[in-house]
Each structure stands twice: as structure tokens, then as C-alpha cells.
Structure 1
């Protein structure tokens, strides 16, 4: 149950950040839900990785070493989170490419002309 609470916190924070940036729309609910789930999973796995002493390699049956499964999962989650954060305009690069509610409004000329009645 704690994980659902964490997911809901992430979801609320994401919506608040999107509103602040002027990119929130209720229609993005499903994408926000998936993003919150990915971040919650990443946070839990990262804590597990830390608690496990950051073991990034495991020994194979042949005696060699390979990347630990948790590391591969964390890498995949990072990529997925980045993709979803792009879609939700939650990073500097993606926000540059959209017109947000915060950017809308009067042009400089309209603002100057509107001030003189």
C-alpha cells in the first residue's frame, strides 16, 4: 500500500509542476499515471540497489561477470522516465519546443500599446 501512496505523491507533484509550467491538460491523465508508476518503481529499485550495497555485477555459471539484473532494470526505467518526461514537458529541452500557457499572452508591442490609452 505504501507504493500506491508514493505513486499518488509523484502524480500530484507532476500535475503541480506541469500546471506551474503551463503545460497541464486533464487529457494527459493516462500518461501522467504511467510516468508516476515508472518513477515509483525506479525509486523503489534504487533503494533496493542501495540497500544491496550497489552490487552492479553478478557471477555467471561460467565464472565470468555480467551486469546485475537490477542495474539493467534501472537503466531501462531511466530511459523510459526520460521519454515520458519529454512528452509531459518536464525537462528544459522539451519545454523549449512547445507554446505553454505561461508563454501565451500579449506580444511586447501589444503590451506597450495597451498601456497607452
Structure 2
């Protein structure tokens, strides 16, 4: 990703990790803390495919007792927030592997 000071950007998504703000095509996207950390992880590793277990470790922490299917719930919430309107889905589901940030370009 491009690091512009404290900004993370990918495609038309901009994140200010310090100010805890996300924009897509200039529009502010409100995210909960877990969805924010999930998107931040994807923005730091665009194109990488992460299994549910790796996302649990990265976003929830190594000592987490959270079930792996919880990742699916938060991915769904993140998609709903960032894909409002006719925006393309940039979170790709990789069958039997996990999820990746991928604009399809």
C-alpha cells in the first residue's frame, strides 16, 4: 500500500489509522473497531490471502478464544460498510483458503 504519512490507501479506499477514519471515493465510512482493524490488516497486505485462523491471530490476538466463523461475520459487516451503493467488492473470498484485499485489476 501507499503510505502517505499515516495514511494507508488502496484503490479508492483511504485510511487514517491515527484518526480512526476511513473514506471510500471521498465518502466517510463508519466502521466498528473490529472491522477497522480487519480493514487495516488487509490494507497493510493487499493481495495476500489470509485464512480465518491467520485473521483471528492478526486482528483478535493470539490468545483469543473466538470461533473462526466469527471472521465471516465481521467480513460481512466490513463488506456492507465499504460497498454501499454500486461500489465493487474489493474483498475477495478465496474458496477453501480465506480472504484477500483485491480490486480485481
- The bucket for the TM-score relative to the shorter chain is 0.3 to 0.5
By percentage of residues, which structure has more helix? Answer: 1
**Larger RCO: Structure 1 or Structure 2 (Cα < 8 Å, ≥ 6 residues apart)?**
1
Which structure has the larger Rg over C-alpha atoms?
1
By percentage of residues, which structure has more strand? Answer: 2
